Amino acid sequence: MKRTIILLAFVTFSSLAINAQTTLTERDQDFLNEAVQGSLMEVKLGELAQTNASSPAVKNLGQTMIADHTKMVTELNKLGADKKVTLSQSMGEKAQKNYARLAKKQGKDFDKAYTRCMIHDHKKDICKFKKEAKKGDDPAIKNWASGQLPALEQHKTMSEDACKMAKKS
């Protein structure tokens, strides 16, 4: 009888320990949701750049955003599934307003507004990803965030270059 109780207690404790390993902290969950929503916005704005931009550099930036952030969304969804967390599959309210504002612009006006938006957004993303890479609780998410930093830095640089070109034309 004592062995059964001890065994049952061990199994229960082991089960709780396993569940604790797959449960994310609120901070890590928030990071994943913000990252997926941000990437979804980058994809949508990149698609908008394909139709509304006049500069080849801005169209190229948009295409890069579509490719890289679509990949990020896929990776984030896999991370979420691995951690048993369902991530949002839509842009946040602020991102939707940003999209609506940019959708009204065409040509050079779009080029300038879009590139400024990309610079601002990627500066914020880099800060968030660095913070998660350093202070996040889940090792897999920290590692993923750290691995994305070079691409985000490249996106910021591309955005700055495209912005300079848009101002010249």
Q: How far is CA 92 from CA 10, 27, 35, in A?
A: 43, 17, 11
pTM: 0.84
Report domain extents, the chain: 26-168
Contact 40, 71 (CB under 8 A): no
Separation of CA 147 from chain center? 12
Instruction: Just give the CATH number of 26-168.
Output: 1.20.1260.10
Contact 34, 132 (CB under 8 A): no
- Ordered per-residue pLDDT tens for the chain, 169 residues: 566 555 444 444 443 333 334 589 999 999 999 999 999 999 999 999 999 999 999 999 999 999 999 999 999 999 999 999 999 889 889 899 999 999 999 999 999 999 999 999 999 999 999 999 999 999 999 999 999 999 999 999 999 999 998 888 7
Summarize pLDDT for 132-169 with one digit per residue, the tens.
999 999 999 999 999 999 999 999 999 999 999 888 87
Calpha distance 66→145 (Å, rounded): 19
Q: What is the token pair recorded at 79?
A: 């991370």
Calpha distance 135→131 (Å, rounded): 6
Contact 61, 49 (CB under 8 A): yes
Contact 32, 145 (CB under 8 A): no
Calpha distance 112→100 (Å, rounded): 16
